[in-house]
Structure 1
Amino acid sequence: MKKKKQRRIKKEALTAYLMIAPEMILMLIFIFIPIIYALYISLFDWNALGTKTFAGLDNYSHMLDDATFWGSLFTTVKYAVIYVAAVYILSLAAAVFVNSIRGNRRQQACRVAIYLPNTISTIVAATLWSFLFNSRNGYINRIVELFGGERQLFLGSSSQALICVAVVGIWIAFGYNMIIFLSALKDVPAEYYEAARIDGANAVQRFFKITFPLIKGTSIFILITTLIASFQVFDQIRVMTSGGPAGATEVTVYYIFQLAFEQYRFGYASAIAVALSLIIMVVTVVQMKLLKFK
């Protein structure tokens, strides 16, 4: 009997390993091996065509003196602040709103409508919003003028371009995070709300005393994932601004792209990529500590 149980456990374990094996192989091929190779390339001066010249830590020392790199990192941080805050607030507000709707059909229709932008590719969304933000014939400027406002430059303005780019990312992402928040709200016991109503708590008090503390784990997860995503922004910047105007939207990932595929400085680009990965890792750990992740 004991042997049969052991065989069954081994069979179940083998089945589990076989199920996750394809995912692990893909992660090994497309994530771990490229990371190791990027770390290796960062130690060389290489244009992807000629012979690699060993440079040691020269690429990293040059990075510390590179004003463009620090400027791109500052732009990335600004984008992250806008993106993370907006996605978190909007997705939570949308989840609370959808959860308050009575009737499964109405709630489902509203949930689908909010989630729909997440099904659109970033390239398509960026192209669409580029037309909307067009300073000459864009529909947003027409609406502004309709209400008596002045025509805006949007993507042509160094003060507005980064916000416009962030709008695209927020529009795509907040519906997905709304679904995550909504699933967490569904798990909050209704008895807690009923007891709070009996005690005279209003809607705001119920939210901050019951809902918000009970979805803390979900909040931390969304803050961490959105922060990581914000440091990796590239697609909409490539389509909408190409890092302009005057470098106002040149984030670090776009700077890496320019170094690697426009200037063919693969060694230096890899060094910055490694540094950015470490920065994301450190920021994530600090964020987890500050939010007291358990």
Structure 2
Amino acid sequence: MKKKRKHIKRETLISYLMIAPEMILMLIFIFIPIVYAFYISLYDWNALGTKTFVGIANYLRMIKDSTFKNSLVVTGKYAVIYVLAVYVLSLAAAVFVNSIKGNKRQQMCRIAIYLPNTVSTIVAATLWTFLFNSRNGYINKILEELGIGRQLFLGSRTQALICVAIVGIWIVFGYNMIIFLSALKDVPSEYYEAAKIDGANAVQRFFRITLPSIKGTTIFVLITSLVASFQAFDQVRVMTSGGPGKTTQVTVYYIFELAFEQYRFGYASTIAVTLSLIIMLVTVIQMKLLKFK
């Protein structure tokens, strides 16, 4: 019994040592900054002078801030476009690649679809900015060849947010495709064979076998995509700077403007803390709706 207890204690110690580096990094780069951001949110501070304690004044100001409310609406629109598109495209790509016969062909398709994920958001945003250029952009030239008129794209109040979302979708859907593909390969082939014998067509097999079998992966992709959508910043900064008319001013970009352009670090921290709470709340609701277990 003593040897067994020593063995268990040793394994437990090894387990803690294995996760210790990651926990330390999370403490330094996640938990401590969150606590410090909440602390700063209670002050009026421009990062240079002395801090002036204002209590919950910043939070009361935030409630009346129409720009903040607009940024939440914009972020919500972006999240809907981004999450739905990433989910549908990545799952469709995974089903398509999984249906390809031959390992070499599958591998080439996986590489081609995953390749955009290796490009940094800044580079991708710069590339797509040229493509969406209203005067000399290649997309407008293609539209002209097809007999469709030129589009304003990034200069349009209705099209700009969609254009910004396309960049994020283009980068990440290949990564999620790999995740879905791994889940699809774990679905036993016997299920599909039995369904074929029972006369189920491809659509029925997809909705009755494939989707229920990859529920855990679906929840993971939806939650991570939702969190990523609330953190969108790089492509907004490069492509539109929040314009035109604040139609692409997501909340993270508004925080950036407050902190690094207006030097209102206290108020920026207030919105950052609030956004973190909103993300947590929305994630919990999403998990409940999807019946996460």
Where does 1:72-221 land on structure 2 (aligned, <5 Å)? 72-221=71-220
Deviation sequence 1:255-292 (CA, Å, 0-9, x none): 00000000000010000001111111111111111111
Q: Tell me what 2:44 maps to.
A: 45
Distance in 1 separating the partners of 2:13 and 2:104: 42
Once the two structures are TM-superposed, the CA of residue 23 in structure 1 deviates from its matched residue by 1.0
Distance in 1 separating the partners of 2:87 and 2:167: 15
Distance in 2 separating the partners of 1:116 and 1:83: 19
Distance in 2 separating the partners of 1:256 and 1:73: 12
* Residue segments in structure 2 that go unaligned for 5+ positions in a row: none
Q: Tell me what 1:255 maps to.
A: 254
Aligned residues: CA RMSD: 0.8
User: TM-score if structure 1 supplies the norm length?
Assistant: 0.98
Deviation sequence 1:133-185 (CA, Å, 0-9, x none): 11111111111111111111111111111000000000011111111111111
Q: Tell me what 1:245 maps to.
A: 244
Which amino acid in 2 is paired with 1:237? V
Q: Tell me what 1:229 maps to.
A: 228
SS at match of 1:152: coil
Deviation sequence 1:196-217 (CA, Å, 0-9, x none): 0011111001001111111111
Distance in 2 separating the partners of 1:21 and 1:131: 45
Distance in 2 separating the partners of 1:4 and 1:127: 62
Which amino acid in 2 is paired with 1:132? L
Distance in 2 separating the partners of 1:291 and 1:5: 42
Once the two structures are TM-superposed, the CA of residue 48 in structure 1 deviates from its matched residue by 0.5
SS at match of 2:246: coil
Distance in 1 separating the partners of 2:48 and 2:162: 38
Q: Which moved more, 1:211-220 or 1:254-263?
A: 211-220
Number of residues of Structure 1 aligned to a counterpart in Structure 2: 293
Deviation sequence 1:101-131 (CA, Å, 0-9, x none): 1111111110111111111111111111111
Distance in 2 separating the partners of 1:15 and 1:133: 53
Distance in 2 separating the partners of 1:8 and 1:142: 70
Deviation sequence 1:212-253 (CA, Å, 0-9, x none): 111111111111110111011000000111001111100000
SS at match of 1:38: helix
Where does 1:266-277 land on structure 2 (aligned, <5 Å)? 266-277=265-276
Which amino acid in 1 is paired with 2:228? A
SS at match of 1:142: helix
Percent identical pairs in the alignment equals 79
Q: Detail structure 1 runs of 4+ shifted over 6 Å in the superposition.
A: none
Q: Tell me what 2:68 maps to.
A: 69
Which amino acid in 2 is paired with 1:200? G
